[in-house]
Structure 1
Amino acid sequence: MPDTGAPLKLSPSVHAPIAHDSAEKHVSGEARYIDDLPEPAGLLHLHVGQSARAHARIRRLDLSAVRAAPGVVCVLAAADVPGRNDISPIMGDDPMFPEGEVRFVGQPLFAVAAETLPKARAAAALAVVEYDDLPALLTIAAAREAGAVIEDSQTMRLGDAQAAIAAAPHSLAGQLAIGGQDHFYLEGQVALVIPGEDGDLHVWSSTQNPTETQHIIARTLGLRDNAVVVEVRRMGGGFGGKETQSIHYAAIAALAATKTGRPAKIRLDRDDDMAMTGKRHAFESRWQVGFDDDGKLRGAAFELASRCGHSADLSIAINDRAMFHADNAYCLQAAEIVSHRLRTNTVSDTAFRGFGGPQGMMGIERAMDAIALRLGKDPLDVRKANLYGVSGDRTPYGQTVTDAVAFELMDELERTCDYRGRRAVVAAWNAEHPWLKRGLALTPVKFGISFTANHLNQAGALVHVYTDGSIHLNHGGTEMGQGLNIKVAQVVADAFHVPLDSVKISATRTDKVPNTSATAASSGSDLNGMAAANAVRAIKDRLIAFASREFDTPAILIDFTPAGVRIGDQLMGFTELVRRAYFARVSLSATGYYRTPEIHYDRATHQGRPFYYFAYGAAASEVVIDTLTGENRVTRVDILHDAGRSLNPAVDAGQIEGGFIQGMGWLTTEELVFDDAGRLATHAPSTYKIPTAGDRPDAFNLAIWQRGENREATIHRSKAVGEPPLMLAISVFSALTDAVASVGGHRVMPDLDAPATPERILAAVEDVRRRAGDHV
């Protein structure tokens, strides 16, 4: 088990390594997901007919044979949408079904509702679709040349970067292609909708965003928001893929239920899910740096370009966050960060763990490796010399970094993992082995925590206390396996000082807590934990006021403890106090609300304080490559991560390890391949390779930083843990780069793109051999 450190506070719940509330049900298969719910009588099954063209006018769409097929109850297309034919979250540019033009392969053309799924699928195959093909932009290069964008390029500046680079003793430039990534959640997109009285709808959706699902369903059906209830008990993974793109399928099911008056379910199989839903954005990163003899940066410039897909989705915010994180943990004395957001005829890419941050960090980390190679220094020394807290504290977007701990983390990890000794061992190995080469890298992560859209930094919660002392908890966050519900339950149990099993975790519902933000941006525990704590505080204040009156005791002498409620000199059980308060007509229910303080951002100038605080971590990864085949393996990983005062070290350790492995997959094996017609060729586990248990490093040493504590007033001084660990895997990419560079005696910088597949590593090895030979 990972070393999570000793508990930081003696408490019945908070800071304790408590198992996920559904852990046993996950393992046993008893955890119920939407497709496990009992199917109501009259249920219709939906299948979606997809576009076969990347960009075309629809000359003819004949669905008569589909409607006449056995078992078909209704067929839905654009003309059947009673409200706005738009499922986009922001920009109004993404129809539920296209009207005359298709814009990517896999775009939903129509949906079939039938008595069984096989009948719906068979019927959909009978559609007659004729196209007039239009020019299709499938790559970043093609979209750039055509000037196809979802918005104008954005620029963030600190000082005069070009002048600083020109005046520096040394300068370097390079570029890096960074591939996308499929979410590959265990549970695909699925929704079940049951119509009620007066046109009401009850929607079960595997979504990270119940409120947005509610709003968009109402919009497309011409309803008011209060006619739609969205419920989420759990998801089988989300990773951002269910922040906006789950809504499309819930809306289709809601449309079918409305049209027929019957329950309707849609469940995408893996191939369709991968073809029809967005990915992590593919990026190209061009970088220039100027630096001195010690490797300290004088100036840095980055030009980022991303493939956004056919519609905006969340690409504007994702590309903004890539700009925010182009510095990673390093103080750029002067900086210019330019971002191009390109529109392509591919599926609209969307949120993915890190939300653009990982792609933004890749350029500066490549630059650090290049600087070290140019100067003949250890890359770790170059990195440490440029960290916030060492080199400065001002970010390119104007925020002052007041909580910099990256140097302390890296320094501690350097010692505990014996980085220096292992560097010497790796060098000796490489000198003796001509075909197998090892690499080692230690990299930091600094990740800003808050939604960059300021209005999303709010949350609500609902807490009921019953007269038997049991507690019902509901909040606006959604559980996707990350342990949000158990953490918030721990907060509530701790606040009342009652056993954790007194708190009942209930499904997220839009009719219990309204107007919620998506569970995203690593903010689930920060926002919902604080909202729940505020709800508890309201109830406790009422109970204290009642006890003060009832027992003629000053409120200051009333305290909730694990042994019971101390009222002056007497100790009363929590349940007894609650029962007495009920008979005295004291309300035992409260809503709680929280909004993140002290954050502001002017997007027109790209200046402000967009983040409440930063999460930090460091990872050392060791790899080995086969220079004859390009095959590679991560052999050892050491991680030290700052979770503040962790709410639940066991859950956080799982998030750190899982995030790292997912990031490792993004940078090594998970290659998305589109053919020349815009079809996704890697649309199943047979062709798209996520890491397996066998890819886990043999030595995986993980520790949560015991000195961690959030300087801001977050819930129990904890820090977010959802997204930051993914970027620890950049250490794997740097270690692979180090191993490839060793082929040429570290005389030339490898030209290695991500993901570093065996083919790319082999090509980079051959290129390094050639260029190193030219340098001899």
Structure 2
Amino acid sequence: MTKHVPDLKAQKISGGVASDQRHDSAHKHVSGTAVYIDDMPEPAGTLHGCLGLSTATHATITKMDLVAVRAAPGVVDVLTAKDVPGENDISPTGRHDEPVLADGKVEFYGQPIFCVIAETREQARRAVRLAKVEYEQLPFVTDIGALDPRKDKLVTPPLTLKRGDAAAAIKAAPRRLKGKMRLGGQEHFYLEGHIAMAVPGEDHDVTIYSSTQHPSEVQHMVSHALGIPSNAVTVEIRRMGGGFGGKETQGNQFAALAAIAAKRHHRAVKIRPDRDDDMIATGKRHDFLIDYEVGFDDDGNILGVDFMFAARCGFSSDLSGPVTDRALFHCDNTYFWPAVHAQSAPLYTNTVSNTAFRGFGGPQGMVGAERVIDEVAFALGKDPLEIRKKNFYGASGDKEGDRNITPYHQTVEDNVIQRIIAELEASSNYARRRREISAFNNNSRFIKRGLALTPVKFGISFTATHYNQAGALVHVYTDGSVHLNHGGTEMGQGLYLKVAQVVAEEFQIDLDQVKITATTTGKVPNTSATAASSGSDLNGMAAQNAARQIKDRLTNFASEKYQVPRDQVLFLPNRVRIGNQEIPFGDLVKQAYMARIQLSAAGFYKTPKIHWNRDKGEGRPFYYFAYGASCSEVSVDTLTGEYVVERTDILHETGRSLNRAIDLGQVEGGFIQGMGWLTTEELWWDDKGRLRTHAPSTYKIPLASDRPKIFNVTLADWSEANEPTVHRSKAVGEPPFPLGMSVLHALSDAVASVADHRICPRLDAPATPERVLMAIERLKREAARPA
């Protein structure tokens, strides 16, 4: 009798790697049952805090009368800088330039100077308004356009990248030009604002529930502010209602104040600012002034470039150093600059300190590169796409690999941009639509259309090398179910689900057998921020490492118990084949437990190969690059500057995607958010230094109606990571964000049509309808001038 051998290829686990699984909390999001911090039951006697914000932009505090505040109904305490028991500092970089509460001097309008603790949130908010604060005004600056990036105060040392002699190359070039571009900042506008709840324990202990992307940093900042060791502080976060970088460092202040009050009064304390206070008092994406000079030949080959990236950083360093560094790292985008000089200027201003935002400076660098391409194209009367393709890494008949060196001297080893552009150019019918748009514009007096196809190359890794590490904790229980914990945080991007899929795949068990648990510093210590698009790369590998340790022990146990070679122990869907017999996974686990085999493991991963010498401006800061491209078409009303996005086509690579459904959502969302940054989202400070766009009524994010009328998004299914990442997947959090550049350049193309594409529009961002209209009128005037 022949024994039936099951078809292993036909059998799969439910929910492993490369299967399209819905977000693990999707049903909870739409039904309102997902528990965020403000949904958690409050411990009995919970107090509530509200920040008192400065009403001066730069001043010495001469008097702070808080008598009426303290006497207000329900007020339990009012904290000032002198009430911080430890160090009055929450600087994430250790520069000691960002106080928990301002002490004697304020450096931006809206800086927290005291904190009211009351029985209810409403009582705390009402009491804050009773403060009487007097100031001695000091000179202030909010606009970096008024500063000299080479002479004025910086918040952190600048970076210089150089390769070759850019000045000489530009001087010797047949053609050269220079220009300036203003690039706006961006509010994170997460659905869930900042919030922290501190619950005191015995001795020094305190537990913090914080909406943070960096639990370990909150842990350290709270311990410093309280003057206690880190082991007394536990930080936990199950999910955030969005982060986008805004919760990497900005949650520190709320957590520290809640913890200080909780320990002073031995009661739980919650701080949840309203949207206006949140937007006024917390950092945003850096806005830039980009100066550029370029030398090129008559064919459009760029021979040398020189960039100065001046950034509005605010009053303290925060993460401005690494953000402006990354802007320089991406000033090449997908292009080989034969000779390049690029410098950053992280400028001090009397504004809130800007911070991490999806892309972390990279998109700003890319926009600078794309402006240079546009300038060259207009100077030569050519299609910008032709100039792009001519200057790609590896283009122009590169046979020796000498056109693959970045400005920071890393070799680009995984370049696929030519294939991505070629496929997108074909699938979007770029050439045909270019002709059709030209004909349309010639016959349309007021409505003009524009088209642009822009590429993306995004470096993956933290540029601070030590952050490229992760830990995970995996327990297998005797019924075969698995408990998973790691250092990554969930902010809606599907990280928890992807890592759970990796563990399910490793054990070959169904996804519903893997329990996803909240991130806590009490289980996995010394975690890195969930940022830099590294969440799945780092935590997926750490969890895989932990699972493999346990799997290896189970293999050894089965081999010894059943007297078969190790290679005859095979993990199949929800069962294990041992020699010529099969047993359920849970049965093997129970047998291993009875034999005293350890069923728990701490996993660890550190990214290999990367290194960076900032002083020399050389190294390999990125493990690999992620590539994509987008093609957008717009229609612009030249009488009003209003516009619509008619169509967008995207081709983006994610390697061997862990979950295509999640990755498609990331690409779509990243594009829309990037489009919003470059078109509608405008931050505006008045002449008194006050941020006036601090609410949904004055700050315009993209609406559902702003999405492209036709929106085609495709993942490059042929791509895979050239490095051994987790299942050869690639990061997908930040790389899609700069795909929104295609909308800015399509608008530029439409504007340029009013002057027959003879003048570079030099359209600044955000390209609001007002700014588009002003650019149209300027081009009309310039075109009308005698030659």
Normalising by structure 1, report the TM-score.
0.98
User: Which SS does the other structure have where 2:158 is aligned?
Assistant: strand
How far apart are 1:123 and its partner, in Å? Answer: 1.1
How far apart are 1:375 and its partner, in Å? Answer: 1.4
User: Which SS does the other structure have where 1:439 is aligned?
Assistant: strand
Please, which moves more after superposition, 486-495 or 148-157?
A: 148-157
Give the letter for the 1:655 counterpart: Q
Distance in 1 separating the partners of 2:381 and 2:31: 54
Q: 1:568 is matched with which residue?
A: 579
Distance in 1 separating the partners of 2:368 and 2:547: 45
Confirm whether residue 768 of structure 1 aligns to residue 779 of structure 2.
Answer: yes
Confirm whether residue 332 of structure 1 aligns to residue 337 of structure 2.
Answer: yes
Q: 2:140 is matched with which residue?
A: 136
Distance in 1 separating the partners of 2:243 and 2:156: 27
| 1:78 paired residue among 78, 81, 94 | 81
Q: In the alignment, is the contact (CA less than 8 A) between 1:218 and 1:228 conserved in 2?
A: yes
Distance in 2 separating the partners of 1:404 and 1:171: 28
Q: 1:4 is matched with which residue?
A: none
| 1:88 paired residue among 83, 86, 91 | 91
| 1:177 paired residue among 156, 165, 182 | 182
Distance in 2 separating the partners of 1:313 and 1:10: 47
C-alpha RMSD of the superposition: 1.2
Q: 2:160 is matched with which residue?
A: 155
Q: 1:353 is matched with which residue?
A: 358
Q: 1:221 is matched with which residue?
A: 226
Q: 2:258 is matched with which residue?
A: 253
| 1:62 paired residue among 65, 72, 77 | 65
1:457-507 residue CA offsets vs partner (Å, 9 max, x unmatched): 000000000011100000000000000000000000000000000000000
Give the letter for the 1:331 counterpart: F
Q: In the alignment, is the contact (CA less than 8 A) between 2:156 and 2:320 conserved in 1?
A: no
How far apart are 1:389 and its partner, in Å? Answer: 2.3
Give the letter for the 1:681 counterpart: R
Q: 1:195 is matched with which residue?
A: 200
Confirm whether residue 616 of structure 1 aligns to residue 627 of structure 2.
Answer: yes
How far apart are 1:227 and its partner, in Å? Answer: 0.5
Map 1:251-650 to 2 at 5 A: 251-391=256-396, 392-562=403-573, 564-650=575-661
How far apart are 1:440 and its partner, in Å? Answer: 0.3
User: Which SS does the other structure have where 1:723 is aligned?
Assistant: coil
| 2:131 paired residue among 120, 127, 130 | 127
Distance in 2 separating the partners of 1:154 and 1:553: 60
User: Which SS does the other structure have where 2:736 is aligned?
Assistant: helix
| 2:42 paired residue among 39, 44, 52 | 39
Q: In the alignment, is the contact (CA less than 8 A) between 1:175 and 1:363 conserved in 2?
A: no
Q: In the alignment, is the contact (CA less than 8 A) between 1:298 and 1:333 conserved in 2?
A: yes
1:248-281 residue CA offsets vs partner (Å, 9 max, x unmatched): 1111111110111100000011111100100100
Confirm whether residue 688 of structure 1 aligns to residue 699 of structure 2.
Answer: yes
Q: In the alignment, is the contact (CA less than 8 A) between 1:137 and 1:345 conserved in 2?
A: yes
Give the letter for the 1:154 counterpart: L
| 1:719 paired residue among 725, 730, 751 | 730
Give the letter for the 2:121 counterpart: L
Distance in 2 separating the partners of 1:390 and 1:462: 46
Distance in 2 separating the partners of 1:42 and 1:570: 59
User: Which SS does the other structure have where 1:197 is aligned?
Assistant: coil
User: Which SS does the other structure have where 2:586 is aligned?
Assistant: helix
How far apart are 1:154 and its partner, in Å? Answer: 2.5
Distance in 1 separating the partners of 2:377 and 2:310: 26
Q: In the alignment, is the contact (CA less than 8 A) between 1:143 and 1:344 conserved in 2?
A: no
Give the letter for the 2:380 counterpart: L
Give the letter for the 1:23 counterpart: A
Distance in 1 separating the partners of 2:229 and 2:407: 43
Distance in 1 separating the partners of 2:357 and 2:45: 36
- When residues 759 and 107 of structure 1 are mapped into structure 2, their CA distance, relative to the original with a 3 A threshold, is same
| 1:112 paired residue among 112, 116, 121 | 116
Distance in 2 separating the partners of 1:364 and 1:213: 36
Give the letter for the 1:32 counterpart: V
Q: 2:3 is matched with which residue?
A: none
Normalising by structure 2, report the TM-score.
0.97
Give the letter for the 2:135 counterpart: Y
Confirm whether residue 758 of structure 1 aligns to residue 769 of structure 2.
Answer: yes
Distance in 2 separating the partners of 1:638 and 1:500: 33
How far apart are 1:137 and its partner, in Å? Answer: 1.3
1:370-407 residue CA offsets vs partner (Å, 9 max, x unmatched): 21122122111110111112251000100000000011
- When residues 718 and 10 of structure 1 are mapped into structure 2, their CA distance, relative to the original with a 3 A threshold, is farther
Distance in 1 separating the partners of 2:603 and 2:156: 38
1:721-771 residue CA offsets vs partner (Å, 9 max, x unmatched): 000101000111111110000000001111311000111101100010111
1:664-702 residue CA offsets vs partner (Å, 9 max, x unmatched): 000000000101111111111111000010101110000
User: Which SS does the other structure have where 2:323 is aligned?
Assistant: helix
Give the letter for the 1:396 counterpart: P
How far apart are 1:160 and its partner, in Å? Answer: 0.4
How far apart are 1:174 and its partner, in Å? Answer: 1.4
Q: 2:242 is matched with which residue?
A: 237
Distance in 1 separating the partners of 2:148 and 2:49: 38
Distance in 2 separating the partners of 1:742 and 1:209: 47
How far apart are 1:563 and its partner, in Å? Answer: 5.0
Distance in 2 separating the partners of 1:590 and 1:151: 41
Q: In the alignment, is the contact (CA less than 8 A) between 1:747 and 1:775 conserved in 2?
A: no
Q: In the alignment, is the contact (CA less than 8 A) between 1:190 and 1:249 conserved in 2?
A: yes
Q: 2:400 is matched with which residue?
A: none
User: Which SS does the other structure have where 2:743 is aligned?
Assistant: helix
Q: In the alignment, is the contact (CA less than 8 A) between 2:441 and 2:448 conserved in 1?
A: yes
User: Which SS does the other structure have where 1:754 is aligned?
Assistant: coil
How far apart are 1:297 and its partner, in Å? Answer: 1.1
Distance in 2 separating the partners of 1:153 and 1:34: 38
Flag as ranges the 4+ runs of structure 1 deviating above 3 A: 9-12
Distance in 1 separating the partners of 2:667 and 2:13: 23
Distance in 2 separating the partners of 1:746 and 1:187: 44
User: Which SS does the other structure have where 1:198 is aligned?
Assistant: coil
Distance in 1 separating the partners of 2:539 and 2:532: 13
Alignment size in residue pairs: 769
Query: Where does structure 2 lack aligned partners over 5 or more consecutive residues?
Result: 1-8, 397-402
Distance in 1 separating the partners of 2:146 and 2:105: 20
User: Which SS does the other structure have where 2:673 is aligned?
Assistant: helix
Q: In the alignment, is the contact (CA less than 8 A) between 1:140 and 1:305 conserved in 2?
A: yes
- When residues 178 and 11 of structure 1 are mapped into structure 2, their CA distance, relative to the original with a 3 A threshold, is farther
Confirm whether residue 676 of structure 1 aligns to residue 679 of structure 2.
Answer: no
How far apart are 1:62 and its partner, in Å? Answer: 1.5
